[in-house]
Chains A and B, each alone.
Chain A
Amino acid sequence: MKYPFPVGKSDFIQGDEAIARAAILAGCSFYAGYPITPASEIFEAMALYMPLVDGVSIQMEDELASIAAIIGASWAGAKAMTATSGPGFSLMMENLGYAIMTETPIVVVDVQRSGPSTGQPTLAAQGDVMQAIWGTHGDHSLIVLTPATVQEAFDMTIRAFNLAEKYRTPVILLTDAEVGHMRERVNIPNPEDIELVYRKLPANEEEAKYPFGDIHGDLIPPMPIFGKGYRTYVTGLTHDERGRPRTVDAEIHRKLVERIVNKIERNKEDIIDFEIFELDDADVAIVSYGIVARSAIRAVKMLRNEGVKAGLLKLNVVWPFDFEMIEKVAERVHAIYVPEMNLGQLYHLVKEGANGKARVELIPKIGGEVHTPQEIVKAVKRCEKCI
């Protein structure tokens, strides 16, 4: 296959552009979207590239329709993606739940800008973390990835498609206006060197009868494809293993929803990804994700120069969340700091994970600018003094 951009070499591109190229290399053949700053560059790239790789890029009337379209495309067998920012992400919440309930592999990119509402369109924030995890109603689980660099935006987009296919679930790539718009070098591998995952298909007619049944004992049912000869019911209503609506039976509901949650929770080890920096002998830990983690790395270096033994835990996946790992960190340090471009979101998960074993302090910042390393250093030192 010929690609409409250079492969097997490095390029200097925006995070948004990297996401679009990675999607195509991951096998995405359907994109539906509605333009919005700071995610529009993803759409622009997809509109340019898709026709050249025999794919489809379509502008829908709004974000509700955009996510609906990719859910449909996924059931027709395509790897599908949409991208948006806060206001559009809010509109997608209903159908995000539909994708979870129908176990539809899709990738949704949220390039966070500062909210609420239309807020500061051109400026970055991390205000959608809890929305990405819990924004849609009802009991559920899904996967949320948080890149901090343009290379990570590229790599995690490919991973998002692989996880979506492997676990038959929506995956959110939760990035922000800084990563989306910044340019860095990206090493774009040769396509044959990229490991791709494809959803499990029914092996035969018998398997195809149970598109929502745990017939392999791995909690992930094979997914029939529309137009391949099987008759399949797909509904957001509570359904049995064959997909038929069963809306008043508590046992059927419990079994379905618990399986949907457990297929993520019981595979945490495979899904969760993090990096540690100078954490081994640390007295204080910084837990950070996305763009702010880059300021945090520098803050750790600066704190160490000033005699404070600091370390960093950088989360590349914020859901599923490794509460146990946070507790282990909390047992070894006396304080954990959580710098976030919001007024406190992941902080609450970290606090729950720390389980009282260490003090957990939020370093909030809103208004559109990333914490400077100095701001993190100052906040840590102020608190360390007051012990």
Chain B
Amino acid sequence: MRKEILISGFGGQGVILASVILGRAAAVYEGLYAVQTQSYGPESRGGASRAEVVISDEPIDYPKTLHPDYAIFFSQEAYQKYLSQLKEGAVLILERDLIPRRNEEVEKNLNLKVYALPLTEIAEETTGLSLTMNILTLGFFVALTGIVSREAIEKAVLDAVPKGTEQINLKALHKGFELGEKALKGEL
């Protein structure tokens, strides 16, 4: 079971942190194998940010994503750059408000399952902080795909977020779970 996840957006959105938390949940709390890699330019904020997680039940040889089974895009640039790399039938989560231009032809040809939500807006409504968007998205992703358990991702979130922000991040995560459940029931 090798699963490849690609997360991309711009620096400052918490792309890398989300990937680290996901990898940690799989490797430390699920006993799976996981590799997290990232690519970044010299600029830390505003530049393109891309992180990859490979999760498997056996040791991982090639550590990068080739044709992601899952992708999460937070920017128009990420969408345009990586959409065509996705595996046929991949699950794609989009920050709807930041990706106004979509390529329906590619989405259809690749038979993608697309979930486009105003993730930043929902995060802000839920916690009052738009920067919890990455954690909220993780919750959505985990509830939707079951790639790791909710307990595992919750523990990994608590390991990774700064002291004093645990409750606010858990709130965002749980809102993500709730949205994921809705999506599974076709209620989104």
Contact = CB atoms under 8 A, between A and B. Distances in A.
Nearest to A370: B64
B40 A122 contact: yes
A277 to B, nearest CB: 10
Q: Name, among B20, B34, B61, the residue most crowded by chain A CB atoms within 10 Å (CB to CB).
A: B61
Interface stretch (B4-12, B21-29, B74-82, B138-146): B21-29
Interface string A280-322: 0000000000010011011001000000000000000000000
Contacts of B28: 10-12, 185
A121 B39 CA distance: 12
A10 B39 CA distance: 25
A178 interface: yes
Contacts of B62: 294-295, 297-298, 370, 372-373
Interface in B41-75: 41-42, 60-64, 66
A372 B62 CA distance: 8
Judged by DSSP, the binding face of A is mixed
A184 interface: yes
B126 interface: no
Interface in A105-162: 121-122
B34 A12 contact: yes
Contact of B33 (A11, A185, A298, A370): A185
B61 A185 contact: no
B130 interface: no
A294 B61 contact: yes
Given A10-B28, A12-B28, A298-B62, A182 B40 contact: no
A181 B34 contact: no
Contacts of A291: 63
Contact of B27 (A185, A298, A370): A185
A117 B109 CA distance: 45
A38 B61 CA distance: 22
A182 B42 contact: no
A185 B34 contact: yes
B37 A178 contact: yes
A181 B37 contact: yes
B35 interface: yes
Nearest to A151: B59
- Please classify the interface of chain B as helix (H, G, I), strand (E, B), loop, or mixed, using the class held by over half of its residues: mixed
Given A182-B37, A183-B20, A185-B33, A122 B61 contact: no
Nearest to B53: A183
Given A122-B40, A122-B41, A184-B34, A178 B24 contact: no
Interface in A345-387: 370, 372-374
B36 interface: yes
A6 to B, nearest CB: 10
A148 B28 CA distance: 20
A372 B63 CA distance: 10
Given A178-B37, A182-B35, A12 B61 contact: no
B38 interface: yes
Nearest to B64: A370
A372 B66 contact: yes
A295 B23 contact: no
Given A182-B35, A185-B28, A294 B23 contact: no
A185 B34 CA distance: 7
Nearest to A373: B62
Contacts of A370: 62-64
B45 to A, nearest CB: 16
B4 to A, nearest CB: 13
A144 B167 CA distance: 48
Given A298-B61, A373-B62, A183 B35 contact: yes
Contacts of B61: 294-295, 297-298, 301, 373
Candidate in B20, B24, B63 with the most chain A CB atoms within 10 angstroms = B63
B27 A182 contact: no
A294 B41 CA distance: 25
Contacts of A374: 66
Contacts of A298: 61-62
Contacts of A10: 27-28
Which 3 residue pairs spanning A and B have beta carbons closest together? Answer: A185-B27, A12-B24, A183-B36
Given A183-B24, A184-B27, A372-B64, 10 more contacts: A10-B28, A182-B36, A183-B37, A184-B33, A184-B35, A185-B33, A185-B34, A295-B61, A295-B62, A370-B64
12 contacts: A12-B23, A12-B28, A12-B36, A122-B41, A178-B37, A182-B36, A183-B24, A184-B34, A185-B27, A297-B62, A372-B64, A373-B61
